[in-house]
Amino acid sequence: MKEPTSPTAPLATFPPQPEEYRSRAPEFYGFVAWSSTYLLFTLFILWGLLPDEWIVWSGVTWYPNREWALLFPAYSIVLVLLTYFTYFALALFGTPALSDISTITDAKGRLLDPATFDFTDEGAATEMYDIPITLVNHALYDRG
């Protein structure tokens, strides 16, 4: 017995369609993509490894230079590495400096103004503020 589908299952249609209305096109597209990938890879390997006489004997009169059998995969690897490098560089470019206040708080933050705050009253309960990092460092690490 088939499990019932529900609106919470992301890939299941609800209510399920009858069998005669479902398309089998994805199965055919998947098979064509799979088989053409294997065919092209086999042709690429044969082009890279077979001697010129065999390729001409099979009826192919023009084909790219054999150096592309090495250059194409090498360029592909370099392109992938450059893509990773570019995304990493863009992430670094978009990151604010460590001295920037946006690394500590955001636009909605409320910074405490030390000039208006009374630090001497230990029992004082004030409104909530984002404490500046200099004040935190002073409270935690000042040995004076």
For 12, residues 6+ apart whose C-beta sits below 8 A from its C-beta are: 5, 6
- Model confidence at 44, pLDDT cuts 50, 70, 90, reads very high
Neighbours of 26 (CB within 10 A): 9
DSSP state letter for 50: S
In our burial notation (b when 16+ CB lie closer than 10 A, e otherwise), range 60-91 reads eeeeeeeeeeeeeeeeeeeeeeeeeeeeeeee
Please compute Rg for the chain using Cα positions.
33
Predicted pLDDT of residue 96: 85
| Amino acid making up residue 99 | S
Of the candidates 117, 116, 112, 144, the residue with the CA atom closest to the CA atom of residue 129:
112
Q: What is the pLDDT of residue 9?
A: 58
pLDDT above 90 for 83: yes
Entry pTM: 0.48
Tell me the per-residue pLDDT of 93-111, one tens digit each, with 9 for 90 and over: 988 888 887 777 777 777 7
**What are the residue boundaries of the structural domains of the chain, listed by start?**
19-63, 64-95, 96-144
For the cut 80, the answer to whether the pLDDT of residue 55 exceeds it is: yes
